[in-house]
A = this chain, B = another copy of it.
Amino acid sequence: MPSCEGMLGFGDRVKTVKERRALYIGRFQPYHKGHHAVIREIASEVDEIIICIGSAQHSHEIENPFTAGERYLMISKSLRAEGINNFYIVPILDVNWNAVWVSHVESLIPPVQVVYTNNPLTKRLFKERGYEVRTPMLFNRKSFSGSEVRRRMLCGENWEELVPPAVVEVIREISGVERLRELAKSDKEG
């Protein structure tokens, strides 16, 4: 178990911190092997990992096809399939107000000591609030990305190899590929 000493003083909301908790924020449209590798790694290093599903109210869009509930299922099934249990998943709605966004997240999650993110805005906002922010290494970023998975779904290519098996299952159950393709039939004049 990691020593708690270095932690004291990180958060100003809780005086005595018993567990070491990390925050990982993503949109997970969908959850893919790139996310999975990073989260497994973090989960093995901390007591608990809080996984925030960003843009939770977005779904049924080309860039955001899946609901927060569907993404919840993808993440939890994939992690439990590997025996990982020390995670929490919290959907976070966009507030479109960057200056209050960190407070918004803080009010919905247990206190954390370190934030993992690859998004420059998230990084900057948490840094300005005094958090330690780390940028996880991404292997093969070009393939393991949400946009590549969605592109393959639209083009009928092999997207299944980019995501954990549990994600394939969830997307099949909800007819996710069919949904994405219907949304792609553009008709601007609604």
Contact = CB atoms under 8 A, between A and B. Distances in A.
A59 B14 contact: no
A13 to B, nearest CB: 7
Given A13-B128, A107-B67, A179-B124, A190 B97 contact: no
Interface string A128-139: 111000000000
A36 interface: no
Interface residues of A, number: 72
Contact of A125 (B12, B60, B69, B72): B60
Contact of A100 (B15, B100, B185): B100
Interface string A115-153: 001111111110011100000000000000111000000
Interface string A71-102: 01100100000000100111101011111101
B100 A104 contact: yes
Contacts of A108: 56, 67-69, 72, 91
Contacts of A125: 60
